[in-house]
Amino acid sequence: MAAEKNSPSEDASASKHAKDKSGEQPEWANGLKQLYDSVVDEPLPDSFKDLLSKLDYDDGPDEASKGDLG
């Protein structure tokens, strides 16, 4: 992430409102992270918990029987 502060694109000046002169992030940059983080922070749907627990069992009877899944 450190690198991006120093690399304004050559055509980033396209917008007069974007605050990217002097290497500052444009207004929406934080929004992009929020968009991503909002999904990261979502509780994991049960379908994923089901899938992950099935992975253990499919892996072979040896590990599966003493698996640490809840």
Partner 1 sequence: MAEGERTAAEKADFKRELTEVVPHLRAFARGLCGRPDMADDLVQEALLKAWAAQARFEPGTSMRAWTFVILRNAYLTDMRRNRFRGDYDETVAERILTAPAGQEEPIHLSDMHRALLTLPPERREALLLVGAGGFSYEEAAQICGCAVGTIKSRVGRARATLNDMLAEGNIPQRSIDDDTAHRAILEELDEVAAGNGETNKS
The DSSP letter of residue 17 is: S
Least spacing, CB of residue 65 vs partner 1, in Å: 11
Give the distance from CA 22 to its chain's centroid: 27
The contact set with partner 1 (CB under 8 A) reads 1, 3-4, 7-12, 14-18, 20, 26-42, 44-45, 47-48, 51-52, 55-56, 58-59, 62-63, 68
Q: Which is nearer to partner 1, 14 or 22 (CB)?
A: 14
Least spacing, CB of residue 49 vs partner 1, in Å: 9
| Torsion, Cα of 62, 63, 64, 70 (10° steps) | 150
CA 9, 15, 17 angle in degrees (round to 5)? Answer: 120
Least spacing, CB of residue 2 vs partner 1, in Å: 8
